[in-house]
Amino acid sequence: MKTIDTYLHKKILVLGLAKSGVGAASLLQKLGAFVTVNDYKPLSENPEAQGLLEQGITVICGGHPIELLDEGFELIVKNPGIPYHNPMVEGAVQRGIPVITEVELAYQISEAPFIGITGTNGKTTTTTLVFEMLDAGNKKPLIAGNIGTVASEVVQKANSSNQIVIELSSFQLMGIESFKPHIAILTNIYDAHLDYHGTKIEYVKAKANITKNQTKDDFFIVNVEQEEVLEVARQSQAQIIPFSAKRILDYGAFVQDGWVLFNEEQIMKMEDIRLPGAHNLENILSAVAAAKLSGVSNKAIFQVLSTFTGVKHRLQFIKEVQGRKFYNDSKATNILATKNALAAFNGPTILLAGGLDRGNEFDELIPSFQNVKAIITFGQTAEKMEKAAELAGIKIIKRVDNVKTAVPLAYQLSDPDDVILLSPACASWDQFKTFEVRGDIFIEAVHMLK
Q: CA of 354: how far to CAs of 239, 324, 390, 420, in Å?
A: 43, 22, 15, 15
| CA distance readout (Å), 84 to 91, 147, 152, 171, 176 | 10, 24, 22, 9, 14
Structure confidence at residue 193 (pLDDT):
63
User: Residues comprising the binding site for ATP?
Assistant: 119-125
Q: Give how far Cα 370 sits from Cα of 364, 392, 417, 439, Å.
A: 13, 8, 17, 25
Q: What is the pLDDT of residue 197?
A: 67
Domains of the chain by start residue, with CATH: 11-100 (3.40.50.720), 104-305 (3.40.1190.10), 316-447 (3.90.190.20)
**Residues paired with 352 in a beta bridge:** 376, 422
- pLDDT tens digits for 217-272? 999 999 999 999 999 999 999 999 999 999 999 999 999 999 999 999 999 999 99
Q: Which amino acid is at 323?
A: G
Which helix (H) or strand (E) segment holds residue 434: the answer is: none
CA 241 – CA 179 distance, rounded (Å): 20
In the prediction, which pLDDT does 161 show? 96
What are the strands of the beta sheet with 419-422, ordered from one edge?
Answer: 316-321, 324-328, 419-422, 349-353, 372-377, 396-399
Taken in order 391, 395, 398, 404, is the CA torsion positive or negative?
negative
How high is the pLDDT of residue 278?
81
The annotation places the binding site at 119-125
Helices (H) and strands (E) in the chain — how many of each?
Answer: 16, 20
pLDDT for residue 358: 85
pLDDT of residue 22: 94
Give the Cα separation of 263 and 275 in Å (integer): 22
Q: Considering only CA atoms, which of 216, 190, 231 is closest in space to residue 339?
A: 190
| Residue 150 · residue 19 · CB < 8 Å | yes
Give the DSSP per-residue string, 1-39.
Answer: -----TTTT-EEEEE--HHHHHHHHHHHHHTT-EEEEEE
pLDDT at 293: 98
Residue 270 one-letter amino acid: M
Which residues does 373 contact at the CB level (< 8 Å), separation at least 6? 348, 349, 350, 394, 395, 396, 413, 418
- DSSP-derived 3-state class of residue 269: strand
Show pLDDT as tens, one digit a residue, over the chain (450 residues): 898 999 999 999 999 998 899 999 999 999 999 999 999 999 999 999 999 999 999 999 999 999 999 999 999 999 998 988 899 999 999 999 999 999 999 999 999 999 999 998 889 999 999 999 999 999 999 999 877 789 999 999 999 999 999 999 988 999 999 999 999 999 999 876 666 667 888 899 999 999 999 999 999 999 999 999 999 999 999 999 999 999 999 999 999 999 999 999 999 999 999 998 888 999 999 999 999 999 999 999 999 999 998 888 989 999 999 999 999 999 999 998 999 999 999 999 999 999 999 889 999 999 999 999 999 999 999 999 999 999 999 999 999 999 999 999 999 999 999 999 999 999 999 999 999 999 999 999 999 997
What radius of gyration do the chain's Cα atoms show? Answer: 23
